[in-house]
Structure formats: structure tokens, C-alpha cells
Amino acid sequence: MIIGVLNGPNLNLLGTREPAIYGSTTLSDIEARLAEVARSLGAEVRCAQANGEGQLIDRLHAWREEVAGVVVNAGAYTHTSLALRDAFSATALPFVEVHLSNIHAREPERHRSLLAPVAIGMVTGLGAYGYEVALQGLVRWIRHRAPGASAP
Ligand code: DQA
């Protein structure tokens, strides 16, 4: 099983970007760890990051036939992009949304996710570890809960 890991704007700067909020782990550290976790689950990851909304949408379109599901941190597009939500709906890719920080404990404009209504679930506030939790949950969901899969 191949899982896409998609990171949005400014997440390429993890490690130096506002470390008090986002921690000091870099995106390549996160991606390397996810590759290990995926292997332990009998899966593999494809990782991508883009700062542009259209680039993220294009990536989902390209992954449509390639990945079984997506772990996504859409950064600020989480709160603004109906187009990205539509891309998830259009591709029918199951996904788990991740945020390093707890978006509900931050400014009001970060409380709402436009992606959440079509996500399997959300992991928010667990820092870089949240990506691992999201990957485990997504693989489990695909294996046991996805339409047509065997019961858990
Ligand atoms: C974020 C939270 C968003 O509000 C913010 O715009 C980000 C990162 C997080 O991981 O905590 O870029 O998605």
C-alpha cells in the first residue's frame, strides 16, 4: 500500500519556522520517520510539499491512481481552500488531516478547517509525532474500514 504525504505552504521551513509553535523537527526528518513507520506497517510513503494551492491540487490529481490515501498538512490552506477540499472529494482519496499545533487553541481564524468535513479524521497539537499517528490511523482505516474491506 502506498500512502501520499502532502505538506502545504511554509512547511518546507519546519525546523526554523516559529519553533516555539511548530518545534525544531525538519520536514525531511518527518518524512524519513514516516518512511520507517510505513515500512513497519507493510506500506510505503510518497512525500510532496508545495507552497501553491494549485500545485497541491495537481499533486492530488497525479496521485489519484497511485496512492491509497493521503496524510495532509495543508498549512494555512486548511482554513481557506474550498478548492483543495473539492480536490479530495473529486479524487475520492481518503485522508487524515494533521496539524503540528493545536489549531483550536490558536487564533479564531485557525479554528475552522474546510477540509475536515470530508476527512477521515484530524490529528492536531501532537507536533511531528502527529504525522505518525495520522499514518497509522489512515493505514488501519484503509485496511479495515474502507468500503469493501474486511471488518476490524
Ligand atoms: C498548521 C496550522 C495552520 O494554521 C498554519 O497556517 C500552518 C501550520 C500546523 O501544522 O499547525 O501553516 O497547519
The answer, yes or no, to whether residue 152 has pLDDT greater than 70, is no
Contacts of 58 (CB under 8 A, 6+ apart): none
Q: Taking each helix axis from N to C terminus, what angle separates 27-40 and 129-144, rounded to the nearest 10 degrees?
A: 30
Please identify, by atom number, the ligand 1 atom nearest to the C-alpha of residue 101.
Answer: 11
pLDDT (tens digit per residue) in 34-58: 999 999 999 999 999 999 999 999 9
Please identify, by atom number, the ligand 1 atom nearest to the C-alpha of residue 106.
Answer: 4
Task: Please identify which of the residues 77, 79, 99, 131 carries the catalytic annotation.
Answer: 99
100 lines ligand 1 (CB under 6 A): yes
Which of 122, 53, 112, 51 has the alpha carbon at shortest distance from 83? 53
Residue that has been written with the C-alpha cell 474500514 in this structure = 145
Over residues 71-86, mean pLDDT: 98
CA 144 to ligand 1 center in whole angstroms: 29
How crowded is the C-beta side of 17, counted as CA atoms within 13 Å? Answer: 13
The answer, yes or no, to whether residue 151 has pLDDT greater than 80, is no
Contacts of 39 (CB under 8 A, 6+ apart): none
101 lines ligand 1 (CB under 6 A): yes
**Neighbour tally for 150: CB within 10 Å:** 8
Between 38 and 152, the more confident residue is 38
Main-chain phi, psi angles of 46, to 5 degrees: -115, 125
Q: Taking each helix axis from N to C terminus, what angle separates 82-91 and 53-63, rounded to the nearest 10 degrees?
A: 10
Active site residue 131: no
The model's pTM? 0.95
Active site residue 22: yes
Angstrom distance (rounded) from CA 87 to CA 76 = 16
Q: How confident is the model at residue 83 (pLDDT cuts 50, 70, 90)?
A: very high
Please identify, by atom number, the ligand 1 atom nearest to the C-alpha of residue 9.
Answer: 12
What pLDDT sits at residue 147?
A: 64
pLDDT (tens digit per residue) in 53-78: 999 999 999 999 999 999 999 999 99
Strand 44-49 relative to strand 121-124: parallel, antiparallel, unpaired? unpaired
Over residues 93-116, mean pLDDT: 98
